[in-house]
Amino acid sequence: MVIDAHVHISEREGCTDELLRAMDKNGIDRAVVFDGGSNENCLAQCRAHPDRLIPFGCVQLGRDPYVTVDFLARDGFRGLKLIRPTHNYNDERFWPYYGAAERFGLICLFHTGIVARGGAADKERRDDTSRMKVILLDAVCRQFPDLTVIAAHMGNPDHEEGAMMARWHPNFYFDLSGSSLLHRTHDYFRNLFWWDRPSRFSKRNAYRPFEKMVFGTDEPYDQLHEPMAEQRALLEALNQPPEIVEKVFGGTMAGLLGL
Ligand SMILES: [Zn+2]
């Protein structure tokens, strides 16, 4: 089963139909979806296509009340999408959100690294990439050991820190959607993932770097084939066996979601 762990949807007319067609075309069975504009729309689309779409709720750290997480869990969301926090991701003011997510078994997909410009909203929200640095998730992984953390974009451009996080934290995963594979070479990742063997430090589920990677696209639906091909090419260049490729493209995510 192929699972895309990073898909944006919206209330735009025909959005879900376009996504489903693109998934069919690219052999993607299921997708984790989130709608930054409307959690209600996200849930409605997922309820209409429960065999294809998996709902993640958008929570604005520092702006939404903590109880939002409880409501999202009750409504059937399987995870949270987090971006543009009012403070650093490791700020103790955010711990109640993470604690609730851990309690309800909601996976937390954090945007990490450089964030797109958002026009006038940048100023209004005081957007600041430095609050979303991947290393800020170190404290979150330690404080909430039963919380599953996925760092979208692996902290781009802080891939060194992202790779070390993947090595040390059993509850830390990453995706390589975005521009990481456009500006970093396969050899660069080969060097980052030098730890592809068990050691006395490695965790049971963490001695193979690509067991911590989940496939995600985060692109317009007519371009899903591009990140898919880039990520496949990386795994091939680094001689990953078929069972690891299968895990990246869905097996690991299916396990995390209990599918
Ligand atoms: Zn995204």
Q: Is 67 within 8 Å of 32 (Cβ atoms)?
A: no
Domains belonging to the chain, first-starting first, are 3-257 (3.20.20.140)
Please choose, from the candidates 216, 245, 239, 242, the residue with its C-alpha nearest in 3D space to the C-alpha of residue 228. Answer: 216
- Please state, in angstroms and rounded to a whole number, the distance separating the CA atoms of residues 241 and 25: 25
Q: 246 C-alpha vs ligand 1 centroid, how far in Å?
A: 22
In DSSP terms, 34 is beta-bridged to 8
Q: What is the pLDDT of residue 118?
A: 84
How many angstroms does the Cα of residue 134 sit away from the middle of ligand 1? 15
Distance, CA 178 to ligand 1 centroid (Å)? 8
d(CA 176, CA 96) in angstroms, rounded, equals: 28
Strand extents, DSSP E, the chain: 3-8, 30-34, 53-58, 79-82, 107-111, 149-152, 172-174
What percent of the chain has pLDDT above 70?
98
In the block, which residue shows the tokens 């959100």?
Answer: 97
Alpha carbon of 111 to ligand 1 centroid (Å): 7
Compute, in angstroms, the gap from residue 200 CA to the centroid of ligand 1: 36
The pLDDT tens digits for 54-85 are: 999 999 999 999 999 999 999 999 999 999 99
- The mean per-residue pLDDT over the stretch 188-209 comes to 81
pLDDT digits (tens, 9 = 90+) for 95-153: 999 999 999 999 999 999 999 998 888 888 899 999 999 999 999 999 999 999 999 99
By C-alpha distance, which of 83, 132, 135, 74 is closest to 106? 74
Q: In which band, very low, low, confident or very high, does the pLDDT at 46 lie, cut at 50, 70 and 90?
A: very high
Mean pLDDT of 199-224: 87
Tell which residue, 98, 118, 99, has the closest CA to residue 109: 98
Give yes or no for a contact between 28 and 231, defined as CB atoms under 8 angstroms apart: no
For ligand 1, the distance from its centroid to the CA atom of residue 199, given in whole angstroms, is: 34
Task: Look up residue 20 and give its two tokens.
Answer: 């489903």
> How far is the C-alpha of 30 from the C-alpha of 74, rounded, in Å?
22
Mean pLDDT on 156-183: 95
User: Which residues place a Cβ less than 5 A from the ion ligand 1?
Assistant: 218
Measured in degrees and rounded to the nearest 5, phi and psi for residue 69 equal: -65, -40
How far does the centroid of ligand 1 lie from the alpha carbon of residue 249, in Å?
A: 17
Percent of the chain with pLDDT over 90: 90
Residue entry with tokens 């078929």: 242
Eight-state DSSP code of residue 207: S
CA of 164 relative to ligand 1 center, distance in Å = 22
Beta bridge partners of 23: none
How far apart are the CA of 247 and the centre of ligand 1, in A? 21
Query: What are the phi and psi torsion angles at 128 (to 5°)?
Result: -155, 110
- State in Å: Cα 76 to ligand 1 middle: 21
Average pLDDT (231-254) is: 97
Distance 66 CA to ligand 1 centre (A): 23
For residue 115, the CA-to-ligand 1 centroid distance in Å is 9
pTM greater than 0.75: yes
Closest Cα partner for 149 from 131, 175, 129, 127?
175
Residue 205 pLDDT exceeds 70: no
